[in-house]
Amino acid sequence: MAENSRRRKWTTRHVWLYRLFLAALLSSGHLFSACRAELVASAATAPIDPVLQRIWQSATASDAAYQKLIELCDDIGHRLSGSPQLDLAAAWAVKALRQDGIATARLEPVMVPKWLRGKESLQLVAPRAMPLVMLGLGGSTATPVGGLKAEVLVVRDLAELKTRAAAAKGKIVLFNQAMPAWTPQHGSGYGDTVQQRVHGAQWAFEHGAVAALVRSVTAQSLSTPHTGGTRHQGRGTPVPVAAISVEHAELLARFAARGIKTEVLLQMEAHEEEPAASHNVVAELIGSEHPGDIVVIGGHLDSWDVGQGAHDDGAGVVAAMQALATLQRLGLQPKRTIRVVLFTNEENGLAGGKAYFEAHKAERHVALLEADSGGFAPVGLGVHGKDDAGTAALAAWAGPWLQALAAIVQLQVVPGEGGADISPWLQLGVPNFGLVVQGEKYFDYHHTAADTVDKVDAKELARCAATMAVVAWQLAERPPD
Ligand SMILES: [Zn+2]
């Protein structure tokens, strides 16, 4: 049902608006990083490339992507950088790709940061005693043994903290900015709200606070805390930082609004150890005409240390694997090389994406496509060029052939969407593409214990794999200039 909200009939007015939009992109210097214009690139009447149709039918008829996700999530589980599970996941992926007949599957070494959570807890001490639901944030430092006991200062954001700077000294600051509900026009609002998670510890430290708490970055909550990365220099944040559930952020805010002082005891053992050995997984089908031209499709193999990393990003991993397996099974050899890369350490360092770029930047890459928005129904293709003109040119390239695909899948062009792991290639002008999926529920599960395989629909995941396969094929056959 939600899926339909973003899929609109392709009317004459839409065609006209789409052309107008493309013209505007081509002529303006406007930056559209957050743009999610409702542009449905579809035309049910255009003829479909029979090879794309064959790929689509084969991939959507199979539940192999879902079976792979079950193996990754149930047999291995979550996969934090530096963990034994992440090593197991890389070995599993190589084995699974080889079992699908892709003999080139291999590991490439990458050193990754190794952050460990340890034991952690948060107790409300005053006005009454009760445990609070929390998850330390990645990169956090530990509290002193025995914990930090301090009064809580509730602020909405950095702007409010600045106006109440004198009150922050010696306190634990709670950043309580709510994430807006997802809408088809504006997406999730994650980009704005996540700032408190990324910078909260630094902001609190700069104002003399002893620790930071952050309202979980989600619009929906069932008392589920959401972890995630923080920006920090060296080993760990300047003060300890943890996410708390939306419900408990609201509770502390209600006490504050009534003028009732709250005191909490925060105990965390979080710390960073020496960097650890890890791997990207790389596998390819060699191109028949231009084997030196490379199209990358991928996702990231690591996850946070809670849940199963099913949507984030087990789904992207198995979709990319299954896309390549589908081409292999159909005996299709692309003109250009199609390479799967499963990146390590996306969540807390991007070491995999950076290492892949350093190791392969001398090779001619034609395009890169990443899936890292969950395994929901595909609704669009993100296009991201080196600059605005590059992005507009990619949108102009993608629009017509996405229209031609409309009889099998309706995908919008979404300017500005790519992927974190593939972003280093933008500096060389290599186009980035992103698989855009129905985004309504993603941030309900994102970085929580609830990101498990049961939240992924097998048919929607198969459509992700199919979309990656047809986009990869198109890029390898008829790439943008
Ligand atoms: Zn991710």
Domain boundary among 269, 294, 322: 269
The CA 338 to ligand 1 mean position distance, Å, reads: 22
Alpha-carbon distances, residue 16 vs 23, 141, 201, 402 (angstroms): 11, 54, 47, 16
The verdict on 452 and 306 lying in the same domain is yes
The verdict on 333 and 472 lying in the same domain is yes
The verdict on 202 and 246 lying in the same domain is yes
**Which DSSP string corresponds to 22-36?**
HHHHHH-----TT--
The verdict on 236 and 216 lying in the same domain is yes
The CA 373 to ligand 1 mean position distance, Å, reads: 7
Domain boundary among 269, 292, 326: 269
The CA 164 to ligand 1 mean position distance, Å, reads: 35
Q: What does pTM read for this prediction? A: 0.90
The verdict on 326 and 427 lying in the same domain is yes
Provide the number of structural domains found in the chain.
2
Q: Work out the angle at residue 156's Cα, subtended by the Cα atoms of residues 210 and 416, and round it to the nearest 5 degrees.
A: 110
The verdict on 261 and 351 lying in the same domain is no
Q: Is 273 a catalytic residue?
A: no
Residue 256: is it exposed, middle or buried by C-beta count within 10 angstroms (0-12/13-18/19+)?
A: middle
Read off the CATH number of the domain in which 184 is found.
Answer: 3.50.30.30
Q: Which two tokens stand for residue 457?
A: 């629909």
The verdict on 42 and 177 lying in the same domain is no
The verdict on 380 and 233 lying in the same domain is no
Q: Which residue segment(s) compose the domain that 124 sits in? A: 118-269
The CA 165 to ligand 1 mean position distance, Å, reads: 34
Distance CA 161, CA 156 (A): 8
The verdict on 82 and 124 lying in the same domain is no
Q: Specify the residue for token string 């500005």.
A: 416
Read off the CATH number of the domain in which 399 is found.
Answer: 3.40.630.10
The verdict on 136 and 249 lying in the same domain is yes
The verdict on 318 and 391 lying in the same domain is yes
The verdict on 325 and 446 lying in the same domain is yes
Domain boundary among 240, 269, 298: 269
pLDDT 10s per residue in the chain (481 long)?
A: 222 232 222 233 333 334 444 444 433 333 333 333 334 434 445 678 999 999 999 999 999 999 999 999 999 999 999 999 999 999 999 999 999 999 999 999 999 999 999 999 999 999 999 999 999 999 999 999 999 999 999 999 999 999 999 999 999 999 999 999 999 888 889 999 999 999 999 999 999 999 999 999 999 999 999 999 999 988 899 999 999 999 999 999 999 999 999 999 999 999 999 999 999 999 999 999 999 999 999 999 999 999 999 999 999 999 999 999 999 999 999 999 999 999 999 999 999 999 999 999 999 999 999 999 999 999 999 999 999 999 999 999 999 999 989 989 999 999 999 999 999 999 999 999 999 999 999 999 999 999 999 999 999 999 999 999 999 999 999 998 8
Among the listed residues 71, 120, 272, 346, the single catalytic one is 346
The CA 436 to ligand 1 mean position distance, Å, reads: 13
